[in-house]
């Protein structure tokens, strides 16, 4: 937890400064994404398991994918659809990680505001 506290402090204090160094931002952001994804997975997976609406939507998604798999498409059509699905999943992954990072930064800022951090 101390490592995450350090990451959050660093990101919160330096996020605007990091924008000036775009060449480093990509590497830092990539590392942060991996760290946040690892942390998020533990908590998020449990929440999603307990979310009945999410489970219903997930089942509907699986059914839709089965229909897609059984539908006759030309090779070109299937490539376009597969590319669309892949890009959608990649964008959703990046958005999810950034949403989680924003929540962590906001939570840290709130804790800092009330003097509840170890600074």
pLDDT tens figures, 22-56: 555 566 667 767 776 777 677 788 889 999 999 99
- Taking the C-alpha atoms of residue 15 and residue 24, their distance in angstroms, rounded to an integer, is 12
pTM passes above 0.75: no
Q: Which residues of 15-50 are buried (b: 16+ CB within 10 A; e: fewer)?
A: eeeeeeeeeeeeeebeebbeebeebbeeeeeeeeee
CB 117 within 8 A of CB 111: yes
- Taking the C-alpha atoms of residue 81 and residue 71, their distance in angstroms, rounded to an integer, is 12
Taking alpha carbons only, the member of 102, 93, 97, 108 closest to residue 33 is 97
């Amino acid at each position: 937890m101390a490592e995450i506290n350090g990451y959050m402090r660093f990101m919160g204090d330096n996020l605007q400064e990091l924008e000036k160094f775009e060449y480093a931002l990509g590497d830092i952001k990539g590392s942060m994404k991996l760290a946040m994804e690892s942390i998020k997975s533990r908590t998020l997976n449990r929440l999603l398991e307990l979310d009945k609406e999410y489970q219903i939507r997930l089942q509907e998604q699986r059914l839709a994918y089965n229909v897609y798999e059984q539908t006759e498409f030309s090779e070109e059509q299937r490539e376009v659809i597969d590319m669309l699905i892949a890009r959608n999943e990649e964008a959703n992954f990046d958005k999810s990680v950034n949403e989680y990072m924003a929540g962590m930064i906001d939570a840290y800022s709130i804790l800092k505001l009330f003097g509840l951090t170890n600074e």
